[in-house]
Amino acid sequence: MDITFRRLLPSDTEPLVRFLTGESWPFHSVGEVDGDTARLWIAEGRFESGENRSFWILSGAEPVGVVRLMDLADDTPLFDLRLRAGHRGRGIGREAVTWLTRYLFEEFPHVHRIEGTTRQDNHPMRRVFLRCGYAKEAHYRDAWPSQDGTLHDSVGYAILRRDWRTGRVTLPQWNDEPVDRGPTR
């Protein structure tokens, strides 16, 4: 599948609204987006501003997804990835994360690391993170409420510029807790 990326333009407002409202987003905090909410997000600069950039993921001329890059003035930007349901499971997520990682490290010399978070039960996205060289750095219990009130664990991943350059993943020091001296109550 030939995938390309194109930055969102001001003229993309209505196509972006249709994209956001035309799908269900089960692993996003707002799973069902209505038109008013989508237009508010766009007007607030959530997709395009000094701190945010967004790109269509295109298969030919068809938009199959959106990549949103956030906190671009920071040394640790975040990203959001949305793929249309009919295009999930085809390797596009991996291609998008590979692309956005290279884009951020090449276009923003001050970027030291890139972070992304997903729900624990989003196994396809978790595999994408690992296949793209991201290391699991955090696991937050009951941190992601779904629309029905169910609490899910949230899992955080990141890639360091040095790991991206070398192609080697350095893992966090997980066993660095101080010696347990008993309860502090």
The 10s digit of each residue's pLDDT in 6-34 is 999 999 999 999 999 999 998 888 889 99
Average pLDDT, integer, range 123-149: 94
Residue 180 in this model has a pLDDT that exceeds 90: no
User: What are the φ/ψ torsions at residue 27 (nearest 5 degrees)?
Assistant: -110, 25
Q: pLDDT averaged over the chain? A: 94
Burial class (CB in 10 A: 0-12, 13-18, 19+), 108: middle
Residue 183 in this model has a pLDDT that exceeds 90: no
pTM (predicted TM-score): 0.92
Give the per-residue pLDDT at 39. 96
Give the per-residue pLDDT at 185. 67
- Return the axis-axis angle of helices 35-43 and 13-21, rounded to nearest 10°: 140
Q: Which of 38-47, 133-142, 167-176 has the lowest mean pLDDT?
A: 167-176
List CB contacts of 85: < 8 A, sequence separation 6 or more.
23, 24
- Following CA atoms 100, 152, 172, 130 in sequence, which dihedral angle do they give, to the nearest 10 degrees? -40
Residue 176 in this model has a pLDDT that exceeds 90: no
pLDDT level of residue 147 (50, 70, 90 thresholds): confident
